[in-house]
Structure 1
Amino acid sequence: MRQACAWLIVIAGVAFPVSARAETLEEALARAYQTSPQLNAERAKQRGTDENVPQALAGYRPQIMASLSAGLQAVRDLFPGNTLQTATLRPWTIGVTVNQVLFNGNKTANSVRVAEFQVMSEREALRNVGQGVLLDAVTAYMNVMANNALYESQRTNVDVLREILATTKRRLNAGDVTPTDTAQAEARLSRGQADLNAAEVALAISKEIYRQVIGDAPSHLQPAMPVDRLAPVTQVAAVDTASHEHPAVLGAGYDVDVAQTSIRVAESALLPTVSAQVSASRSVETDTSLTTTSTDQASILGQVNVPIYDGGTAASQTRQAKEMASQSRLVLEQVRNQTRTAVVSAWVTNEGTKVALKAAESEVHAADVALQGVRRENQGGQRTTIDVLNAQQDLTNARTRQITAQRDRVIASYTLLGAVGRLDVHNLNLATPDYLPEVHYHQVRDAWHGLRTPSGQ
């Protein structure tokens, strides 16, 4: 592992200018957590879901309605004796009505519970999106580091191939080798230049993806270490942890609660509704021929509605809610199975990257020793130019596999952490405040009025 870290330090130092500001993976993750449009959009969605609770709680509160009507009324009266009388009246009425539901089959109470379960489910969805954003940031960071290292490795390979070609040409002029050796060296140099160009293209693409995910262009990226210390120590423990902590599983569990409670909301349509109404009004007439010019009214009414038959709508909605509840339970089981598969896959992949990295380190060491030996033997006439070129290509390929293995090692450890549901700001101890969705929830839960959001919009 120390060899891997040392190689990462070397490639990081070569890949970026020393004068640039150093940036660690933790800093990049913190910035992505703060600025990610995807994550901020999900947070806004969460805040919108919070509003379902005060909307449901409104069912407990009175509904107050004020009314005002006024206008012009033309009157033409014809009396016996052909006496005609006309008048223009200006009647108006003002009133206020208060409605209060006293009982609605527990529809309001169950609607509040549904809204609260929806809030909890959306919080888990937000946490799951946060895990995805952080994993994308890790992948973008490590891809830039790896592609920088691959670019430097290919550039070094091209420099070496140019040196081999120059040496071969001098030996050709001296009569030590044939034109075939020169052609072989030229062919390998052309291949190396093509590989260098491909590495440069991959580096440019990875930098742009880094900018998209993190929010800024990469600077002097520092080596990153795996986070195995934050994950469970055994595969069984990882599976068990995911079943209790992964946001997808917890969110699906809350969806079951939503569907189950929605059955009682649908059943409330079959129960009586009791309400009270208080109203007061004043009507004013301007017709002087009337015995009264204004009327004041006040009333208190109680109303009981008992559903007898609604054409089968409520019954159908209840059956529908029950089927939706069955579906949500099956989805929960499906999510559990998918999470288990993801954990096992992440676990074996993470273990596999350890083996691959160790093998790649040994391969680089052996390929380097072999290249030095082939060069000495070539100088003594025991090896041909193609042998040197093959040994150089073997070393370059080994370094490529080592760099790729180092990248995969870090990404796999973070993938495992996300698979068990622990890839978040708190567990990673990032230097950024954790977004707390419950803060907004408590700000709006008991709000009776107001159009402005807690953020002032």
Structure 2
Amino acid sequence: MRKGIWLSSALSLGLMMAGVGHASAETLRGALAKAYANNQTLNAARAALRATDENVPQARAGLRPTIGATASGTLSRGRTTRGDGLPNVNSRAGSLSAGIEINQVVFDGFQTPNNIQSAQAAVRAGQANLANTVQNTLLDAATAYMDVIRDRQIAELRRQNLGFLREQVRAANARFDVGEGTRTDVAQAESEQALSTALLNSALAQVAASEAVYLQIVGDVPDNLTPGTRPPEQLMPKSISSALSVSLAEHPAIQAGLFAVDAAAFEVKSIEGRALPQLSVGGSVDNTYTSSAPGTAAGLPGVDINVASGNDVSASVGATLTIPLYQGGLVASQVRQAKEVLGQRRIDVDSYRDQVRAAVASAWALIQAAEANVTGYRAQVAAARLALNGVQEERTVGQRTTLDVLDAQADVLSAQILLAGAQRDVVVRSYELLSAVGRLSATQLALGVQVYDPEIHYQAVHDKWYGMKTPDGR
């Protein structure tokens, strides 16, 4: 068992010391700033939003001209063999053609304007979803930070408990040797020591697991973590009623749902436009050069007969009006489908509101319970320590047994572990409440990190006419 402890300790110590180059202690705000900058899930969400931004210029292309250039060339040769001693006839012909064609949609049943509006609403929904992802990432980081602190505290408490039990085993053996104790006392102490060893191994494994989660979310190893603190008081709602009103007005999940409703509504209008007349105009300019030699006399190579060449330049302009009469029910079905999707989006918004209300109520109740638990567990720890001291003194005079001491020590350890969990819960529940009301962001927390503004990329691409490079040069 001792070997197992050393192995688990080495694993935990390896994770803890992987970043030995970091000299200063880590704070919760610092960990949140690192998660905001380094978290891969969050960075992937930012990239996905940048891709969504490109739907707007793609929609705008529906009413922009298309220009194309064409070029072609042909070359043909022929040979005619004649009898009666007449000479053979060789012929050749060639042509080169080049042109430019321009097409412009004049009216497409309002499809493009509605597609643009739908794409813009989808971008706004994506921005709100990104804000919600930021909230979830910061909450996960705060939870991982406090989990590491709690689990390290529990592991240290169990390590101290193992040291206490080792001393009890030594004392029980000493009393047994001088005839003041029994073999039962020794066995009871040894049993508790063995159990404590196993529980310490489990605690160290939990520390390693929490540190791995921290590394995944924050992007750095947890070094010397300082005690976690609650969010700034000015961000916290003063009552549950104010928390509910703020959450319904500010939570990004609800805002994303409302923008999704707008996008679906414009999609319905766009599909309805497929049943309206379509008008487009086009023009082209072509230049064709031809050259032909219908015959050359055999035996006189290089001497052309009836050589002809020409250059033909032509231009044309036209308009096309398409009036849909019947499309086999396809467009009608697509309109009905889009309306059902719109109804779904509206129901989704109501669902988001219900989820936010439930999250606010749950977080409010849990934080109240956690604060009360801290007070109660502190009192329990103090009382359990006092009782342990008393039981040890009573055992010294023969009024208590070793089992009584072991039970009293177990009560102290249990109270200390519960206190560590409650202290973790106070901080985590505070961040959960802040997330539930929609105020868990890098800006409002003042994390001191460069804030990612999705509007910068959107403004850079939403009206681009050309260029294949991204705004960052890729």
> What SS is found at the alignment partner of 1:197?
helix
Over 3 Å counting, the alpha-carbon distance change for 1:456 and 1:350 in structure 2 is: same
Amino acid at match of 1:215: G
Provide, for residues 357-403 of structure 1, a one-character-per-residue CA deviation record: whole Å limited to 9, x for no partner. Answer: 11111111111111111111111222111111110110011101011
Amino acid at match of 2:92: T
| Contact map agreement 1:228 1:413 (CA 8 A) in 2 | no
Amino acid at match of 2:330: T
Please point out which of 217, 220, 224 is paired with 1:220: 224
1:87-236 residue pairs with structure 2 within 5 A? 87-227=91-231, 229=233, 230-236=235-241
Structure 1 Cα separation of the partners of residues 243 and 307 of structure 2:
87
Structure 1 Cα separation of the partners of residues 78 and 321 of structure 2:
41
Structure 2 Cα separation of the partners of residues 441 and 20 of structure 1:
40
Structure 1 Cα separation of the partners of residues 329 and 472 of structure 2:
45
Q: Mean Cα displacement is larger for which, 390-399 or 245-254?
A: 245-254
> What SS is found at the alignment partner of 1:23?
coil
> What SS is found at the alignment partner of 1:248?
helix
> What SS is found at the alignment partner of 1:211?
helix
1:43-58 residue pairs with structure 2 within 5 A? 43-58=46-61
Structure 2 unpaired stretches of 5+: 1-15, 294-305
Over 3 Å counting, the alpha-carbon distance change for 1:431 and 1:379 in structure 2 is: same
Q: Is 1:371 matched up with 2:388?
A: yes
Task: Give the drift of 1:227.
Answer: 2.2
Task: Give the drift of 1:311.
Answer: 1.7
Q: Which residue of 2 aligns with 1:435?
A: 452
| Contact map agreement 2:135 2:435 (CA 8 A) in 1 | yes
Q: Which residue of 2 aligns with 1:249?
A: 254
Amino acid at match of 1:261: F
Amino acid at match of 1:345: S
Over 3 Å counting, the alpha-carbon distance change for 1:20 and 1:149 in structure 2 is: farther
Q: Which residue of 1 aligns with 2:366?
A: 349
Over 3 Å counting, the alpha-carbon distance change for 1:115 and 1:290 in structure 2 is: farther
Structure 1 Cα separation of the partners of residues 452 and 279 of structure 2:
43
Please point out which of 309, 331, 335 is paired with 1:318: 335
> What SS is found at the alignment partner of 2:291?
coil
Task: Give the drift of 1:290.
Answer: 8.6
Q: Is 1:238 matched up with 2:273?
A: no
Task: Give the drift of 1:60.
Answer: 2.4
Task: Give the drift of 1:103.
Answer: 1.2
Over 3 Å counting, the alpha-carbon distance change for 1:350 and 1:402 in structure 2 is: same
Over 3 Å counting, the alpha-carbon distance change for 1:42 and 1:384 in structure 2 is: same
Q: Which residue of 1 aligns with 2:26?
A: 23
Structure 1 Cα separation of the partners of residues 132 and 307 of structure 2:
73
Amino acid at match of 1:422: R
Amino acid at match of 2:403: I
1:366-405 residue pairs with structure 2 within 5 A? 366-405=383-422
Q: Which residue of 2 aligns with 1:69?
A: 72
Q: Percent identity?
A: 39
Provide, for residues 255-284 of structure 1, a one-character-per-residue CA deviation record: whole Å limited to 9, x for no partner. Answer: 111111111100111111122112111111
Structure 2 Cα separation of the partners of residues 114 and 392 of structure 1:
66
| Contact map agreement 2:57 2:464 (CA 8 A) in 1 | yes
Over 3 Å counting, the alpha-carbon distance change for 1:290 and 1:361 in structure 2 is: farther
Structure 1 Cα separation of the partners of residues 187 and 137 of structure 2:
50
Q: Which residue of 1 aligns with 2:7?
A: none
Task: Give the drift of 1:43.
Answer: 0.5
Structure 2 Cα separation of the partners of residues 360 and 170 of structure 1:
35
> What SS is found at the alignment partner of 1:227?
coil
Task: Give the drift of 1:122.
Answer: 0.8
Structure 1 Cα separation of the partners of residues 58 and 452 of structure 2:
24
Please point out which of 245, 265, 270 is paired with 2:270: 265
Task: Give the drift of 1:410.
Answer: 0.9
Provide, for residues 217-273 of structure 1, a one-character-per-residue CA deviation record: whole Å limited to 9, x for no partner. Answer: 111101111227222111122122221211111111111111111111001111111
Structure 2 Cα separation of the partners of residues 176 and 327 of structure 1:
78
Structure 1 Cα separation of the partners of residues 68 and 238 of structure 2:
63
Task: Give the drift of 1:98.
Answer: 0.8
Amino acid at match of 2:55: N
Structure 2 Cα separation of the partners of residues 84 and 336 of structure 1:
91
Please point out which of 275, 283, 300 is paired with 2:288: 283
Structure 1 Cα separation of the partners of residues 88 and 128 of structure 2:
78
| Contact map agreement 1:287 1:293 (CA 8 A) in 2 | no
> What SS is found at the alignment partner of 1:297?
strand
The two structures, once aligned, show a CA RMSD in angstroms of 2.1
Over 3 Å counting, the alpha-carbon distance change for 1:322 and 1:77 in structure 2 is: farther
Structure 1 unpaired stretches of 5+: 1-14
| Contact map agreement 2:232 2:445 (CA 8 A) in 1 | no
Greater Cα radius of gyration, structure 1 or 2 = 2
Q: Which residue of 2 aligns with 1:38?
A: 41
Over 3 Å counting, the alpha-carbon distance change for 1:403 and 1:128 in structure 2 is: same
Task: Give the drift of 1:73.
Answer: 2.4
Structure 1 Cα separation of the partners of residues 337 and 423 of structure 2:
52
Structure 1 Cα separation of the partners of residues 214 and 397 of structure 2:
49
Please point out which of 409, 415, 438 is paired with 2:432: 415
Over 3 Å counting, the alpha-carbon distance change for 1:84 and 1:268 in structure 2 is: farther
Q: Mean Cα displacement is larger for which, 260-269 or 300-309?
A: 300-309
